[in-house]
Structure 1
Amino acid sequence: MERKDFITFIIQARVGSSRLPGKILLPFYNGKCILELLIEKLRHVEGTNIIVATSNDCSNNAIEDCVKKYNVPVFRGPENDVLQRFIDAATSYGVKKIIRICSDNPFLELDSIKQLVHIASSSDSDYISFKVDGVPSIKTHYGFWCEYVTLEALLRVKEETKEDFYHEHVTNYIYEHSNVFNISWIDVSNQLNKYPGIRLTVDTQQDFEDARNVYENLCNVNAFPTIREVLEYLNAHQELYSLMQKQIIENSK
């Protein structure tokens, strides 16, 4: 950790997955797994820190082993109460401003991450994220964006609800209670209104193969593919787009 007043990326990661166990540690590109690629990407955002937050389950020892070479701190907490895990991780490192990173999203766009950091740095919002056609990006299948939240807001969620759902899904309670929290949205609908069927979040074996296919082809040109580049590639490869649409139907959020 560099400075406690920096915005900190907390990467939510665990080996357990009902549909594709160990997905974030499987070789994805050039022998590296998704978790490694995310850490390398986030290191290109100035004025930020990185923490990996996993659970106490021994199966997640592999996550610690994976990130050792990056000298990134790993915090271990509850397996299912992810809200508490985030609160404890932030508290342990004196972090007040958090950007939550889901480790199954290899296509998080670097430019969008930098945009979010820039906005959050001078904002008094409890929560900031992206919205597509009125839907919070975290509830879509795109996998392009992350979300900002304050420790204070997470502590308030903990005080207000004991429901397991809201303790497993860290930020849902916040954006479902806009009358309680100060929320800001970045509308990106105009970027994607012609592409509702993109699925680049990795949840299943088919997702993994689709995402790896796109990533391998795009990273030969740009190490950190942009949303525009992804859209252009999928427009030229409609067979992949069709596979993604099928996965969305089978794995609705």
Structure 2
Amino acid sequence: MAQNILIVVQARMASSRLPGKVMLPLLGKSLLTRMVERLQMIRHEAAIVIATSVNAEDNIIEQEAAAINIPCYRGSVNNLLERHYMSAVKHNADIVLKIPSDCPLIDPQIIDEVLDFFFQHPGKYDYVSNLHPATWPDGNDVEIMTMACLEKNWRLAERPLELEHTTPYIWENPDQFNIGNVSWGKGLDYSMSHRFTIDYREDYEFINRVYEELYLQNPGFSCDDIINLITEKPEIYELNAVYAGVNWYRHHLNELNTISADQTKKAANK
């Protein structure tokens, strides 16, 4: 029986470090649009919804979604878990993927690999990701959950970090959920050394340069293509290397039982 797969892309204009980052230009289109292009390249059949807030400043997100013919759900400003759940309910999802909008370099093949793992073990897992532990370069975040898992998460999660970051209640409670993880087949771990996500101006400079170097030759360039590029041109790697390993965990180490200090670092003072 076919299952409805829904990719939820959380996006907003507010950002303390890089306001409006999802609408920054990449070769003439917005970062958000470029990311959706990559999501549409996956082999599995999936619907996409952009989940943003009801704030007026996010009207532009809804307008951009309409321009690229992608549905948009607008909900709570701070409760992203609710945004994901209500988006899934509205679109009759059976399987929900959480992929944040700060991953415009995400490799479609990695998404397919995590989905393949999930479907190769029918009924075994409530939640599968490539983040616990992470091995691929930061910015290839894939989290998959059944609708039942997401609903249980939505009913039981209460802490602010669980509502803001959507899935911590799941992976912090392995006694309540069957959890799987997919590691990079190369046996490497670049999660703390390579940064393909966007949160700072330097990240945008990195991502923009990658697009300039790779997109015109191959719009579906892969994670390996990026690694080869920055190996050949280390000056590109250096654009945002100072922030490699910086992620949201650093603010919540005293609240997270399954995350250790070696999985994050503080941002450099610049």
Same fold flag (TM > 0.5): yes
1:94 equivalenced with 2:92 (yes/no): yes
Summarize the alignment of residues 165-244 of structure 1 with structure 2, pairs less than 5 Å apart. Answer: 165-188=161-184, 190=186, 192-193=188-189, 196-244=192-240
Shift of residue 228, structure 1, vs aligned partner: 1.1
Q: Is the 8 A contact 2:153 2:170 kept in 1?
A: yes
Shift of residue 189, structure 1, vs aligned partner: 6.5
1:32 equivalenced with 2:26 (yes/no): no
What is the TM-score when the length of structure 2 is the normalising length?
0.83
Cα distance in structure 2, aligned partners of 1:191 and 1:25? 35
Q: Which runs of 5+ in 1 are unaligned?
A: none
Cα distance in structure 2, aligned partners of 1:150 and 1:55? 24
Cα distance in structure 2, aligned partners of 1:68 and 1:195? 34
- One-letter amino acid of the structure 2 residue matched with residue 246 of structure 1: V
Q: Label 1:148 to 1:249 Cα distance change in 2 as closer, same or farther (>3 A).
A: closer
Shift of residue 41, structure 1, vs aligned partner: 2.1
Corresponding residue of 2:112: 114
Q: Is the 8 A contact 1:108 1:146 kept in 2?
A: no
Q: Which runs of 5+ in 2 are unaligned?
A: 251-263, 265-270
Corresponding residue of 1:58: 56
Corresponding residue of 2:148: 152
Cα distance in structure 2, aligned partners of 1:229 and 1:49? 26
1:162 equivalenced with 2:167 (yes/no): no
Q: Label 1:249 to 1:142 Cα distance change in 2 as closer, same or farther (>3 A).
A: closer
Cα distance in structure 2, aligned partners of 1:51 and 1:17? 21
- One-letter amino acid of the structure 1 residue matched with residue 232 of structure 2: A
Q: Label 1:194 to 1:100 Cα distance change in 2 as closer, same or farther (>3 A).
A: closer
Shift of residue 13, structure 1, vs aligned partner: 0.8
Q: Please identify which structure carries the higher helix content.
A: 1
Shift of residue 9, structure 1, vs aligned partner: 0.8
The structure 2 residue matched to 1:43, chosen from 40, 45, 50, is 40
Residue deviations 1:186-234 (CA, integer Å, cap 9, x gap): 1116354478421110001111111111221011321121111111111
Q: Label 1:109 to 1:135 Cα distance change in 2 as closer, same or farther (>3 A).
A: same
Q: Label 1:135 to 1:55 Cα distance change in 2 as closer, same or farther (>3 A).
A: same
Cα distance in structure 2, aligned partners of 1:15 and 1:195? 26
The structure 1 residue matched to 2:83, chosen from 61, 82, 85, is 85
Q: Label 1:150 to 1:220 Cα distance change in 2 as closer, same or farther (>3 A).
A: same
- One-letter amino acid of the structure 2 residue matched with residue 14 of structure 1: R
Q: Label 1:248 to 1:8 Cα distance change in 2 as closer, same or farther (>3 A).
A: same
Secondary structure, aligned partner of 1:212: helix
Q: Is the 8 A contact 2:206 2:237 kept in 1?
A: no
Secondary structure, aligned partner of 1:135: coil
Corresponding residue of 2:126: 126
Secondary structure, aligned partner of 2:221: coil
Q: Give aligned-pair identity as a percent.
A: 28
Shift of residue 14, structure 1, vs aligned partner: 0.8
Q: Is the 8 A contact 2:52 2:75 kept in 1?
A: yes
Q: Label 1:244 to 1:163 Cα distance change in 2 as closer, same or farther (>3 A).
A: same
What is the TM-score when the length of structure 1 is the normalising length?
0.88
- One-letter amino acid of the structure 1 residue matched with residue 49 of structure 2: I
Cα distance in structure 2, aligned partners of 1:189 and 1:199? 19
- One-letter amino acid of the structure 1 residue matched with residue 41 of structure 2: H
Cα distance in structure 1, aligned partners of 2:25 and 2:140? 20
